Structure 1
Amino acid sequence: MIRAAWDRLRLFNIRELLAHRGRTLMSLTVMGVSAGLLVAVFSISGSVTGSVDRLTHSLGGQAVLEITGVTDAGFDQRLQQRIATTPGVEKAVPMLRTQIGSGAERALLIGADASIAALGSELAGPMGAQAGKLLSVPNGVLVGAAMGRVEGERFALGSGTVTVAGVLDDNRSEQLNGGHIVAAPLGVAQQVTGRPGRLDSIQIVPAHGADLGALRAALTEVVAGRAVVAEPSLRTIQAGGAIQLVRYSTLMSSAAALIVSAFLIYNAMSMAVAQRRPVLSLLRAIGGQRAPMVRDLLVEAALLGVLGGAVGAVLGVVMGRNAIDRLPAAIVQSVEARTEYLVPWYAIPVAIAACVLAAVAAAAIAARQVYKVEPIEALVPVGVARTDRVNPMLWWAHIVVGLGLTAAAISVAEADLGRFSLAAISLSFTAAVALCFAATGPIVHATAAVARLFGAPGALGATTLERAPRRVWATAMTVMIGVAATVAMGGASRNMVDSATATFDDLGNTDLYVSPTAMEQFPTGPLLPSDLRDKIAAVPGVSAVRPAQMAFATLGSGRVMLQGYPTEIDGSVTSAVDREVVARMGAGQGVVISRDVARSLGAHVGSDVTLPTPTGDHTTTVLQVIPYFSAIAGVVVMDLGQLRQWYERPGETILAVTLQPGVDHSTVAAAIRQVAPAGMHVDTGAATVTAISSSVRQGAAMSAAILWIVMLVATVALLNTLMLSVLERRRELGVLRAMGTSRKFLLRSVLAEAAGIGLIGAALGLAVGAAVQLLATVAMGHAMTIDIRYAPSPILLVYGTAALVLALLGSIPPALRAARMPIVEALAVD
């Protein structure tokens, strides 16, 4: 039986694929692009979380719990003794973990003592084997291979100078932050970073048979909110949160490409079925069963999905690798580990499975058109058989489903579900396709009406359109989805970027900013030198210097960004915070939180929230909930003095400098650079707004690039469908030529057909895209926790015109080929 099934598949399906190489190649290409986009999206998020996960396991080894600092200030080292004596703890290994350098030079400094041997981690072996060197060499450290250092070399690290006692081998370096790592004895690391008596992490190895739940509860009681007790995977979860929005937006764009590919497969399979009707009817007449024929067609489609997905996976690996280098600086900076390109194990199988599922689903719909008719009925032309008409029950079902999905999309978009609100976009596209299916008749009639506007040639094209309603509908949907996705997502992204940028406009009111990192990143550290504020204030031309501080902190299982402002100096914390709230915040009456933090905590104005800090849990009142561009994390705004006290972070991470009237800004900025330590960034307010805006636009650019690829996929699918339509009618065109029809008439007929499909598809795309853009704007507002202003763009008409032009261009090559083909050859086509 297996041999018979293989012979049947080889003779009636694989042979057809090879005979129609053009159709097969185009189907594989479009399906491959869709698979490539999916692999690229999975690889982007997988690289960020995978890099953190690999580093966490390489450092933690056998540890099953980790005690981490609430912020990068860590916690008091004296906690270690109490933690180590907690019942159920076998070993408590202290560590100092901090980032050093920036940009391409960014690395991780690890400080640990001899107890690290208990972890059995990738770092434990080298530190144990070279303990003698580390102790004998003054301020000796081990470095990863990627650091470019040699044994015996001295270099500046933090506030001190260290000596390379050894270099990790390539294999070990690869597991430890890609070789961008410096390992030092705990005391040396604390000394050069200016953090004596502080720890960032304690790795917990439990005693044999210990109850992990009870142990975690006991440790939580011991730390009393001064640190976070969690599994080591918490770092991976937090890294996933930083990339979550990029993953959602790019995944939806990739899904649009996959839908377009499904429509292409549907068209290709419909044409294949129409072409094979004589063979299929003959098989049915001699006793062939419907089920094997259906299965063969589905296997054929699955084969296209597998081959296209496999080829696309290779493309996706390359695309993902390029995208990793273009991640926004704010995302890269917020993650402890250096992001290395990693393709998750599930990326390629899921992408191929998605392609197979889309291809099989599309082929199943195509198979229904012919395989459920009687043998004699399979010989009738396309459009005459009753299976080419929409069943009334199916028509009503699609109306009900479409309206239901529309209502669901509106409800999800309006509900404040955070990033889950973005599901409204996918629901709305599905609803549009369902409603358009119910409107197949009007859509076909509209395309035919447009074609008839072109006179007698258009009348011939209109007849062709009306004979194949399913093909016309699927082709129009291809155009509609491509245009609608680009209009909706592209327009909503532009609205989001413009609104997000507007929230930072008040930063431009300050003359200069001084920070340790570039302003397209969040200035969360390191802390500025304690005397820098006074030095800058003494620079001629400086009127005032206002300090502020930002820091990432753990709250629950996620992270928030703490923002501390000197409310006693002036009330201009941020334009989103009411002035009376600033005064209350300065009096220590409470804090201001962003919408996403309020949502995660279930808090509102007047609620009490408990913040874990290195000085213990602090309960405070929510004074205001504000919109804030929360692409990486939500924010908690408080008085600077309160932040310094609670989180044990004395100092500031950014200085806002106001200049005296009439002074030359460039001259004063140059003078400030002279008194500031090397590597400090001095930027104008306008340049700061531009830098932040560019970072926001960079985050949206990835999704926008995928949308243009979706448009390209839709274009290829459209061109392919129109070319196939003309090629399948070569015999018909040959008959018309034999009857005396001119080449020009045939060309105009095909162009009229393409114009009808392109114009109606583009019009539907513009209408659906504008509606979905409005819905997406609301959904993105909840996801980004800002108020996004809906603003339609005149570029909508450009998209519609482009689709129409592409439809016309796509019909020219095959029309020319058919018109120029000798009549005898055209009539000889099977």
Structure 2
Amino acid sequence: MIAASWDRLRLFNFGELIRHPGRTIMSTAVMAVSAALLVAVLSISGSVTGSVDRLTKGLAGNAELEITGITDAGFEQNLLPAIAQTPGVQTAVPMLRVSLGGGPDRTLLIGADQNVSALDSDLAGPMAEHTRKLTSTPRGVLVGAATGYQVGDSVPIGGGSATVAAVLDDEATNRLNGGHLIAAPLPLAQFLTDRVGKLDSVQIIARPGTDIAELRTALTTAVDGRAVVAEPSLRTAQAGGAIQIMRYSTLMSSAAALIVAAFLIYNAMSMAVAQRRPMLSLLRAIGGQRGPMVRELLVEAALLGLVGGVIGSAIGVLMGRIAIGRLPAAIVQSVEARTEFLVPNYAVPVAIVACVLATVLAAALAARQVYKVAPVEALAPVEASDAAATGRGLRWAALAGGLALGAGAVALAFTDLGRVSLGAITLSFTATVLLCFAATGPIVRAAAAIARWFGAPGALGATTLERAPRRVWATAMTVMIGVAAVVALGGASSNMVDSATESFQSLGEADLYVSPSPVEQFPTGPALPAELADRVAAVPGVAGVHPAQMAFATLGSGRVMLQGYPPQAEDARLGAVDPAVIDRMARGDGVVITRDVARSLDLAVGDEITMPTPSGERTTTVLQVIPYFTAVSGVVMMSLDQMREWYQRPGETILTIEFAPGADPAAVQAAVRAAVPPEIHVDTGATMLAAISSSVQQGAAMSNMILWIVVLVATVALLNTLMLSVLERRRELGVLRAMGTNRKFLLRSVLAEAAGIGLVGAGIGLVIGVAVQYLGTVAIGHAMTIDIVYSASPLVLVYGVVALGLALLGSIPPAMRAARMPIVAALAVD
């Protein structure tokens, strides 16, 4: 039996794939596109979290817990004795972790003492191996191979320098920040970075048999709120939050591509079944059973999905590698580790399984159309038979399901559930497909009516459409999803970018910014030189200098951005805060938080919030909850003096400069530039605003690119459907040609079919796209914690027309084939 099944597969299924290379290549290509998109998206998010996880494991080794600083200021080293003496602690390994430089030169400095040898980590071995070199070399450090330093080289660190005692080989440092690493004795690292008496991390090795939960509680008591006690994996979880929004938006676009590809496979399998109808009817007549035929067709479809998934996965890896180097600087900056390209173990299997499932499900629907008819009926065009009719019960079920999902999408979009609200977009598209399935009859009649606008050729095309309702519906849905996805997701993304840019307009009102970080990054440090503010204030033409400080900090199980300002009502940076609240902030009465922080901690105005700080836990009042664009993390605003005291971060990380009335902007900027050190950045408010807007647009660009790929897939779907129509009617077209019908008539007939399907699909897509864009705008507003203004731009029509135009291009090859079909060959069809 197995041999017989294999022979049938080889002769009737695989053989057909080889005999029809065009259809096989098209079907494989669209599944490859879907797989490539999925792998690329999963690789991008996996690279960010995977890089952090790799570094965390490479440093933590066998440590069960880690005590980390609340901000990059770390915590006092005098906590170490209490930590080490906590019952259940076998070894406490202190570390200093400082990021040096930026961009491609970003390097991680690790300072550790002799206890590091207790860790079964990638760092412990090299430091133990080169202990003698480290101690015998003045200010000796170990460097990773990727740094480019050689033994004996001088390495600038902070305000001083160190000497390379040894270079770690590639294998030893591959998992440690990609080799961009400097390892030093703890006292030396503290001295060079001017952080004597400070630690960033303590790795905890527990005694055998210790209850980790109880140990964590005891350590939390020991640090008294001045540090965070958690598993080392907390860093990975926080890194995942930094890229979550980008992952969600691109995954939704990739899912749309996969759905469109499934519709295309349905049409391709319908084409295969139509071409093999004489052979299948003969097999049924001589006793062939439906079951084996269906299974063999599903195996054929699965093979297409498998091959497409494998090819697409390889392409997706290349796409992900290119995209990872173009991540917004703010996302890269928000995680400690260098973002290296890593393909998660699950990415390729998920993409391949998704493609195989999509092809099998689509082929099952196509197979059902043929194998439910009797052998004699199979000799007739299948769509003309009763097998093409959809049961009334199924239509009513689709209608009920569509209405229920539509209502659920509206409720989910308008309920502030944060990023979960984004699920409303997927529910909306699913509801639309179900409702359109229930309305298959009206959709087919509308397509036929449009085709009849083209006169006698259109009447022939309309008749063909009415004979193939399911195929017309599937292709119309393909066009609809392509148009709706571009209109809805592209429009919502555009609204988000516009609203986010508008929310930062006040930043552009400043004349100059002085910061140690480029404008593409958050000004989280290091702190500016102590007397720089006074020096800049003395520059002629400067009317005012307003300091501020920003830092990432751990709050609850996530990260927030701390922002400290000297509260003043006229400060444009506090534009979203009520003037009365600014006065209370100035008095130190409380803090202002963004919506996502309020949601995650279940807080409201007037509630008390307890914040861990290096100076101990601080409890204060929530003065206001504000909308604020927080794609990377939530925000907590407070008085600058309060932030300096609580978080032990003296100074400021950014200066806002106001010019005197009548001053020459170019001259004042040049004077400020000359007054600050060369490594400090001086940028205008317009430059700052443009950089922030560019980062937001960069994050949305990948999703928009995927949407246009969806439209191209829809183009192939329409081509496939019309080609099927031509192949099914070869005898009919041959008779018409024999009766004197000219080639131009047949060409116009096929084009009329395309116009009918395309216009109906695009029309539904425009209406649904505008509606889903509104829901998407509301849902994205909840996810981004910002008030996004819905705007149905006239470009929506342009998107729709362009998408429709691309889809209609798919009608040209089958129309040309119909017009050029030889009369004798067409009449000879069995």
Decide which moves more: 814-823 or 291-300.
814-823
Partner amino acid, structure 2, of 1:241: G
Q: Are 2:127 and 1:136 aligned?
A: no
Deviation string 1:35-83 (CA, Å, 9 cap, x unpaired) is 0000001100000000000001111111111000010000000111110
In the alignment, what sits opposite 2:19? 19
CA distance in 1, matches of 2:754, 2:450: 10
Q: Are 2:374 and 1:368 aligned?
A: no
In the alignment, what sits opposite 1:797? 797
Partner amino acid, structure 2, of 1:500: A
Do the aligned partners of residues 807 and 726 (structure 1) sit closer, same or farther apart at CA in structure 2, a change above 3 Å counting? farther
Deviation string 1:97-119 (CA, Å, 9 cap, x unpaired) is 01110111111111111111110
In the alignment, what sits opposite 2:432? 432
CA distance in 1, matches of 2:139, 2:227: 29
Do the aligned partners of residues 822 and 274 (structure 1) sit closer, same or farther apart at CA in structure 2, a change above 3 Å counting? closer
Decide which moves more: 63-72 or 267-276.
267-276
In the alignment, what sits opposite 2:237? 237
Asked if 2 retains the 8 angstrom alpha-carbon contact of 1:496 and 1:788, the reply is: yes
Decide which moves more: 632-641 or 365-374.
365-374
In the alignment, what sits opposite 2:273? 273
Aligned residues: 830
CA distance in 2, matches of 1:717, 1:681: 52
Asked if 1 retains the 8 angstrom alpha-carbon contact of 2:733 and 2:818, the reply is: yes
Mapping of residues 370-769 of structure 1, within 5 Å: 370-567=370-567, 572-769=572-769
Q: What is the deviation of 1:253?
A: 0.3
Decide which moves more: 545-554 or 566-575.
566-575
Do the aligned partners of residues 808 and 490 (structure 1) sit closer, same or farther apart at CA in structure 2, a change above 3 Å counting? closer
State the secondary structure of the residue aligned to 1:623: strand
Partner amino acid, structure 1, of 2:782: H
Deviation string 1:615-670 (CA, Å, 9 cap, x unpaired) is 11111111100001010000000011111111111111100011111112222222
Q: What is the deviation of 1:727?
A: 3.7
Asked if 2 retains the 8 angstrom alpha-carbon contact of 1:23 and 1:724, the reply is: no
CA distance in 1, matches of 2:181, 2:548: 30
Q: What is the deviation of 1:339?
A: 0.5
In the alignment, what sits opposite 1:200? 200
CA distance in 1, matches of 2:711, 2:193: 51
Q: What is the deviation of 1:17?
A: 1.4
Q: What is the deviation of 1:277?
A: 2.5
Q: Are 2:108 and 1:108 aligned?
A: yes
CA distance in 2, matches of 1:106, 1:729: 65
Partner amino acid, structure 2, of 1:781: G
In the alignment, what sits opposite 2:87? 87
Asked if 1 retains the 8 angstrom alpha-carbon contact of 2:719 and 2:813, the reply is: no
CA distance in 2, matches of 1:439, 1:128: 72
Asked if 2 retains the 8 angstrom alpha-carbon contact of 1:519 and 1:691, the reply is: yes
Partner amino acid, structure 2, of 1:194: D
CA distance in 2, matches of 1:504, 1:371: 61
CA distance in 2, matches of 1:147, 1:261: 45
Mapping of residues 171-320 of structure 1, within 5 Å: 171-320=171-320
Asked if 2 retains the 8 angstrom alpha-carbon contact of 1:572 and 1:579, the reply is: no
Partner amino acid, structure 1, of 2:793: S
Decide which moves more: 234-243 or 713-722.
713-722
Asked if 2 retains the 8 angstrom alpha-carbon contact of 1:418 and 1:596, the reply is: yes
State the secondary structure of the residue aligned to 1:109: strand
Asked if 2 retains the 8 angstrom alpha-carbon contact of 1:719 and 1:806, the reply is: no
Q: What is the deviation of 1:571?
A: 5.2
Q: Give the root-mean-square deviation of aligned CA atoms.
A: 1.3
Q: What is the deviation of 1:224?
A: 1.3
Asked if 2 retains the 8 angstrom alpha-carbon contact of 1:30 and 1:717, the reply is: no
Decide which moves more: 538-547 or 328-337.
538-547
Q: What is the deviation of 1:271?
A: 1.9
In the alignment, what sits opposite 2:820? 820
CA distance in 2, matches of 1:690, 1:390: 55
Partner amino acid, structure 2, of 1:392: R
Decide which moves more: 734-743 or 403-412.
734-743
CA distance in 1, matches of 2:145, 2:490: 43
Asked if 1 retains the 8 angstrom alpha-carbon contact of 2:483 and 2:804, the reply is: no
Q: What is the deviation of 1:25?
A: 0.8
Q: What is the deviation of 1:178?
A: 0.6
Deviation string 1:686-705 (CA, Å, 9 cap, x unpaired) is 11111111111111111111
CA distance in 2, matches of 1:558, 1:580: 29
Asked if 2 retains the 8 angstrom alpha-carbon contact of 1:74 and 1:199, the reply is: yes
CA distance in 1, matches of 2:2, 2:296: 12
CA distance in 1, matches of 2:794, 2:668: 44
Decide which moves more: 290-299 or 799-808.
799-808
CA distance in 1, matches of 2:103, 2:80: 33
Partner amino acid, structure 2, of 1:552: F
Deviation string 1:442-485 (CA, Å, 9 cap, x unpaired) is 11111110010000010011111111111111111111000000
Q: What is the deviation of 1:814?
A: 2.6
Q: What is the deviation of 1:570?
A: 5.4
State the secondary structure of the residue aligned to 1:121: coil
Partner amino acid, structure 2, of 1:313: S
State the secondary structure of the residue aligned to 2:11: helix
In the alignment, what sits opposite 1:75? 75
CA distance in 2, matches of 1:424, 1:808: 30
CA distance in 2, matches of 1:788, 1:804: 28
Q: Which runs of 5+ in 1 are unaligned?
A: none
Asked if 1 retains the 8 angstrom alpha-carbon contact of 2:156 and 2:162, the reply is: yes
CA distance in 1, matches of 2:760, 2:536: 64
State the secondary structure of the residue aligned to 2:262: helix
Deviation string 1:559-579 (CA, Å, 9 cap, x unpaired) is 000000001695554111001
Asked if 2 retains the 8 angstrom alpha-carbon contact of 1:758 and 1:803, the reply is: no
Q: What is the deviation of 1:521?
A: 1.3
Deviation string 1:325-382 (CA, Å, 9 cap, x unpaired) is 1100000000100000000111000000001111111111112112122222222223
Asked if 1 retains the 8 angstrom alpha-carbon contact of 2:225 and 2:612, the reply is: yes
Q: What is the deviation of 1:804?
A: 3.6
Asked if 1 retains the 8 angstrom alpha-carbon contact of 2:267 and 2:720, the reply is: no
TM-score (norm 2): 0.98
Q: Are 2:327 and 1:327 aligned?
A: yes
State the secondary structure of the residue aligned to 2:638: strand
TM-score (norm 1): 0.98
Partner amino acid, structure 2, of 1:632: V
Decide which moves more: 749-758 or 380-389.
380-389
Q: Are 2:136 and 1:146 aligned?
A: no
Partner amino acid, structure 1, of 2:596: D
Asked if 2 retains the 8 angstrom alpha-carbon contact of 1:588 and 1:639, the reply is: yes
State the secondary structure of the residue aligned to 1:78: helix
CA distance in 2, matches of 1:557, 1:655: 31
CA distance in 2, matches of 1:735, 1:203: 83
Partner amino acid, structure 2, of 1:773: Q
Q: Are 2:776 and 1:776 aligned?
A: yes
Do the aligned partners of residues 741 and 218 (structure 1) sit closer, same or farther apart at CA in structure 2, a change above 3 Å counting? same
Asked if 2 retains the 8 angstrom alpha-carbon contact of 1:508 and 1:688, the reply is: yes
CA distance in 2, matches of 1:500, 1:572: 16
Q: What is the deviation of 1:726?
A: 2.4
Partner amino acid, structure 2, of 1:90: Q
Identity of aligned residues (%): 70
Do the aligned partners of residues 768 and 673 (structure 1) sit closer, same or farther apart at CA in structure 2, a change above 3 Å counting? same
Asked if 2 retains the 8 angstrom alpha-carbon contact of 1:755 and 1:804, the reply is: no
Asked if 2 retains the 8 angstrom alpha-carbon contact of 1:96 and 1:189, the reply is: yes
Asked if 2 retains the 8 angstrom alpha-carbon contact of 1:62 and 1:205, the reply is: yes
Partner amino acid, structure 2, of 1:591: V
